[in-house]
Amino acid sequence: MVVLHVKRGDESHFLLETSVQAQVEEVVKRVVMIHNGRLKVQRICSEMELLAEHGPLLPHEMHGLTEDQVQDLKLEDEWAEICIATGGFKSNKDPCGRRNGCQPLKKMQEVIHKTVSEARGIISKEQVKSNICLTEQHVCDALDILRGAIMIVYPMNLPPHDPIREELENRESLSGTQDQKWVLEAPMTQLWFAGKEMQNGKKLLDYVGRNEKSKVIIKVQRRGQGAPSREPVLTEEQKKTLMAQEFKRREELKHLQEDDDDSYLNSPWADNHHLHRAFQGLNTITWKPH
């Protein structure tokens, strides 16, 4: 199975294992699915960290309002008494005014933070360095453990308007947000290899060859954005190694230039009488003024 090192720009995202016989459009769909799945996991994890600090989200009409404004407008969070964390909660007001300030107790906070760390580890970019390939199942597993943690901490579930619940139920709306720019759509996504666009209707082998044991870099790009930047000839590590070698070479040349050309004459091996004095035991004699 060929391993695709999927990048967007110069940033590594994940490794994908597939076959050189796979159709390009099938690979695009898999890349888009895993890419978007990773983004979903990251969005949920970020919101769950806020959940552990300030509790569930307030209704949208109450966002950013002070307590006096809420009373004047006669608004009420009807989910506050329903969506209560296991074991109760303590007050921790949200400075942004988005969440209701009902922070879960320490034990439930630990459940959330531990699960978030585990989920992020599954879809982490560090998996690339460990040569671990990512699959659609990995994304599903990460979502499942996040969903399980929410049901443990909030048995009555979160309010339907909470972004975590919307994400888990695939009801999220990213329009007008920064996150929308990162989400890909298969019909509008291109794969590039070695500066060439991989066309639909062809197979991977038409671009990467027939060797199933190869590992190649594939770049993801939106249609219409042109060709992505090429990979640098040298990696950062190789550049550092070459710079260190060049610095060492220059220091050696500098040392040779400063050194006296006749300094070798003071070496024992250059003394014609060294062996003769050694037999007579005179090599250890030193002279100094009285």
Give residue-wise pLDDT tens across range 88-125. 999 999 998 899 999 999 999 999 999 999 999 999 99
Higher pLDDT, 255 or 186: 186
| Contact criterion met (CB below 8 Å) for 51 and 102 | no
Among residues 148, 84, 140, 83, the alpha carbon closest in space to that of 111 is found at 148
**Predicted confidence (pLDDT) at residue 176 exceeds the cutoff of 90:** no
Interval 30-64: pLDDT, tens: 999 999 999 999 999 999 999 999 999 999 898 88
Question: What integer is the mean pLDDT of 178-187?
Answer: 90
Residue 17: per-residue pLDDT? 95
Residue 267, both tokens: 């070496």
When pLDDT is cut at 50, 70 and 90, the band that residue 263 belongs to is low
Q: How much is the pLDDT for 101?
A: 92
Statement: residue 288 has pLDDT above 90 = no
Q: Six-digit token pair at 187? A: 């019909």
pLDDT at position 260, please? Answer: 55
Q: Domain boundaries in the chain?
A: 2-222, 229-259
Q: Say if residue 258's pLDDT is above 80.
A: no
58 burial type by CB count under 10 A (0-12 exposed, 13-18 middle, 19+ buried): buried
Determine the pLDDT at residue 267: 65
Q: Is 143 helix (H, G, I), strand (E, B) or coil?
A: helix
Count the Cβ atoms, other than its own, within 10 Å of residue 155. 11
Dihedral sign, Cα of residue 178, residue 184, residue 185, residue 190? positive
Condensed to tens digits (0 to 9), the pLDDT of residues 119-170 reads: 999 999 999 999 999 999 999 999 999 999 999 999 999 999 999 999 999 9
Average pLDDT, the chain: 88
Per-residue pLDDT, 281: 66
CB atoms within 10 A of CB 260: 8
